[in-house]
Amino acid sequence: MVGLLKLETNITISNKLISFFNLIRYKNILIITVTQLFSYYFLSESISLEDLFSDRFVLLISATFLSAAAGYIINDYMDVKLDMVNKPNAVIIGKIISRRWAIFLHSIFNILAVTLAWLISYKVAFLVFTCSLLLWMYSQYFKKSYLLGNLLVAVMTASTIFILIPFDERTNVLGCLSYAIFAFFSNLIREIIKDTEDIRGDSKFNANTLPIKLGIRKTKSILLYLQSLFTLSCFGFIFLFPSMSNCNKITFVKFLFYIVFLVIIPSIYALYLLWNADTKKHFTKLSFWSKLIMIFGIFSMIFWRLG
C-alpha cells in the first residue's frame, strides 16, 4: 500500500513537471536559446567559443529564458477560458498547476530575469524589463486586439537577437539587424495565421483580431501580400549576403543553395497553401510551415562564419 502511494506521488510529480515544461513552451524557449547562441557566435568573427561560456553570456541566456517563460505563463493564465474552447486538452493552469502558483512563478521569473540582466548592464536590464512588461501588456490587453498584439509578439521575437547589440560592442550590428528583421516578419506572418486558425474560439470571447475584424478572405489577402514580400526579401538578402558577411565564392554558393531550397521554396509552398487555405486544419499546417521557415532561416547564420 505504501509502495502504491509512493508510485502515485511520483507519477503526480512527474506529470506536474511535464506540464510545467509544456506551460513555458520548452520547445519554443529552446529555439530562442539556440537563436541567441547562433546569433552571438556566427554573426561576429571576433566572438570565440569561450565567449559562449562566459559569465555575462550565461546571464543573458538565463535572463532571456526566464523572461520568455514568464511571458508564456501569464499568457496562458489570461487565456484559460479562451483555451478551453480553442484547445481544451492543452489547458494546464487551473487543472494541473493552480492559478496562484502560475502568478507566483510568473512574478519570480520576471524578477530573476531583470536581476540577472542588471548584473550585465543597465542597458540590457532596461531591455529585459521592457520586454517583460510588454509581454504582460500583450497578455492582458493586446493579444486579441486588432494587429497590435501580432506586432508586439513579432517585436519581442526580434528583440531576442537585437539585444545582442547593446550586450557586446563586438557584435556584428548589420548581421543582427538583418536577422532581427527576418525574425520580425516571419513571426508577424505566423501570428496572423494563428489568429485565423483560432477565429471560431476567439469570436466567442469578443476578440478583435485581424481575421475577426476583416474576415478570412481579406486576412488571406494581407497574408498573401506579406508572404510574397517576405519571399522577395529573402531573394534580395541572397545578393546582399556577400557584401555583408565578406564570404568567399564557395560559401556564397552553399548559402545560395541553402536559402533557395530551405527558405525560399518552402516560402513559395506556403504561398500555395495560403491561397488554398479555408479550414482550421489548413491554417494549422500553414503555422507549422511558417515555423519551419523561420528555423531554417535562423540556421543560415552559420554561413556568416564559414567564409
- Which structural domain, as residue segments, surrounds residue 237? 172-307
pLDDT, residue 23, reads 84
What's the mean pLDDT when you consider all of the chain? 87
pLDDT, residue 75, reads 84
Would you state the cell numbers that stand for residue 62, as one nine-digit string? 538565463
| Phi–psi pair at 175, nearest 5 degrees | -65, -45
- Do 261 and 143 fall within a single domain? no
Q: Which amino acid, 49?
A: L
* DSSP letters spanning the chain: -HHHHHHHHHHHHHHHHHHHHHHTTHHHHHHHHHHHHHHHHHT-TT--GGGGGSHHHHHHHHHHHHHHHHHHHHHHHHTHHHHHHH-GGG--BTTTB-HHHHHHHHHHHHHHHHHHHHHH-HHHHHHHHHHHHHHHHIIIIITTSSSHHHHHHHHHHHHHHHTHHHH-TTS-HHHHHHHHHHHHHHHHHHHHHHHHHTHHHHHTTT---HHHHH-HHHHHHHHHHHHHHHHHHHHHHHHHHHHHH---HHHHHHHHHHHIIIIIHHHHHHHHHHHH--SHHHHHHHHHHHHHHHHHHHHGGGHHHH-
Confidence band for 25, pLDDT divided at 50, 70 and 90: confident
**Chain-centre distance of CA 159, in angstroms?**
10
Point out the domain boundary residue: 146, 169, 192.
Answer: 169
Residue 9 CB contacts under 8 Å (≥ 6 apart), including other chains: none
Q: List, for residues 27-65, the tens digit of each pLDDT value.
A: 889 989 999 999 999 998 889 999 999 999 999 999 999
Would you state the cell numbers that stand for residue 34, as one nine-digit string? 539556440
Place of cell 511558417: 290
- Do 176 and 202 fall within a single domain? yes
- Do 176 and 156 fall within a single domain? no
Confidence band for 82, pLDDT divided at 50, 70 and 90: low
CATH number at residue 35: 1.10.357.140
Res 284 pLDDT > 80 = yes
Res 5 pLDDT > 70 = no
Q: What is the pTM of this model?
A: 0.87
CATH number at residue 224: 1.20.120
Please tell me the total count of domains within the chain: 2
Q: Is the CB of residue 252 less than 8 Å from the CB of residue 242? A: yes
Confidence band for 293, pLDDT divided at 50, 70 and 90: very high
Residue 229 CB contacts under 8 Å (≥ 6 apart), including other chains: 185
- Do 235 and 270 fall within a single domain? yes
pLDDT, residue 107, reads 94
pLDDT, residue 7, reads 36
**Chain-centre distance of CA 114, in angstroms?**
19
Place of cell 538565463: 62
Cα angle 144, 146, 149 (rounded to 5 degrees) comes to: 55
- Do 126 and 154 fall within a single domain? yes
Query: pLDDT above 90 covers what percent of the chain?
Result: 52
Res 143 pLDDT > 80 = no
Point out the domain boundary residue: 122, 151, 169.
Answer: 169
How far is the first Cα of the chain from the last one, in angstroms, to the nearest whole number?
Answer: 65
- Do 112 and 188 fall within a single domain? no
Point out the domain boundary residue: 116, 139, 169.
Answer: 169
- Do 47 and 157 fall within a single domain? yes
